[in-house]
Amino acid sequence: MSRFFVEPEQISGEMIYMTDTDDIKHLSKVLRLTEGDFIDVSDTKEYEYHCEILEISRDEVKLQIHDKQNFAKEPKLKVTLYQGVPKQGKMETIIQKNVELGINKIVPVFTKRCVVTDSRGNYGKKIQRYQKISAEAVKQCKRGIIPEVTDAITFKEMVAQSVAEHDLVLFLFEDEQETTIKRVLRQKQAEATASGGSIETVALLIGPEGGFAAEEAEAIMEAGACCATLGKTILRTETAGMAALSMVMYELEL
């Protein structure tokens, strides 16, 4: 079943009005759907709808809602990936695979060892492309929201933001030898349960190809992040986030 996304204001009573020209073209020309066919639609906020196509025109697709449900495949746990900006091409893979695994938001971060820099201020132009990749991945795995890929931020901004906005901040560090991510997750989950609460938001801090510099690692730990290892092997930056997210989802979501 094909899935499309609309804004809440495009929903009126029992009707939905799709106006995105790319979606209309994909629906009518690629999928060759027509009046009487059914599609799934998400409002990107809370609900998903099972709809019948009533009318297709060049500028609009008119849909009738047959069923409305809360998101069935959207994780309750909100995980943000703070990703040290990697070399060209790797970011697209990082976005695609982490979206499939359930990430809520991806934040590119410029750190000391990033090979790619933003000296000309052009990195922001890539965000539109990255957001499109996120949307395409969502349609494939039929999630309810399109995870946001934000504008890139600085290392200092990452430290302040991650600690302020998340219940748990996981700093995955290749130099850590003793503390495993499993131990941290189970300990923090037990502490949250004992206090009558739960972990609802998690930040994952992943460095670029060269990892975090020593002074950066020190600053992260001083800010209160939990330092952990993903295992005995050194993972590529495009692999580390996916591995960490899978472990977090296993322990805290599934």
pLDDT at 65 over 70: yes
Question: What value does the mean pLDDT of the chain take?
Answer: 92
Q: Residue 78: how many CB atoms within 10 A of its CB?
A: 19
Q: Are residues 97 and 221 in the same domain?
A: yes
**CATH code (residue 13):** 2.40.240.20
Domain boundary among 70, 95, 118: 70
Q: Are residues 54 and 97 in the same domain?
A: no
* pLDDT for the residue numbered 91: 95
Which is nearest to 143 in space by CA: 78, 201, 71, 93?
A: 71
Query: What's the total number of domains in the chain?
Result: 2
Helix (H) or strand (E) holding 52: strand 47-56
pLDDT level of residue 142 (50, 70, 90 thresholds): confident
pLDDT level of residue 62 (50, 70, 90 thresholds): very high
* pLDDT for the residue numbered 1: 67
Outline where the chain has alpha helix (H): 21-25, 90-101, 125-141, 155-165, 181-194, 214-222, 237-248
CA distance 101 to 211: 23
Domain boundary among 70, 99, 119: 70
Tens of pLDDT along 153-194? Answer: 999 999 999 999 999 999 999 888 889 999 999 999 999 999
Return contacts of 85-90, CB within 8 angstroms, 24+ apart: 85/109, 85/110, 85/111, 85/114, 85/116, 85/123, 85/152, 85/208, 86/114, 86/115, 86/116, 86/208, 86/209, 86/237, 86/238, 87/115, 87/116, 87/209, 88/116, 90/237, 90/238
pLDDT level of residue 67 (50, 70, 90 thresholds): very high
- Give how far Cα 11 sits from Cα of 21, 139, 239, Å: 17, 19, 39
Q: Helix or strand or coil: residue 234?
A: coil
Q: Are residues 137 and 180 in the same domain?
A: yes
Six token digits for residue 253: 């979501």
Domain boundary among 70, 99, 121: 70
**CATH code (residue 194):** 3.40.1280.10
Return contacts of 67-70, CB within 8 angstroms, 24+ apart: 70/46
Pairing of β 105-110 and β 153-154: parallel
pLDDT at 138 over 80: yes
Q: What percent of the chain has pLDDT over 90?
A: 79
Residue 203: which domain range?
A: 78-253
pLDDT at 34 over 70: yes
Q: Are residues 33 and 87 in the same domain?
A: no
pLDDT at 118 over 80: no
Phi/psi-derived region of residue 120, left when phi > 0, alpha when psi is between -120 and 50, beta in every other case: alpha
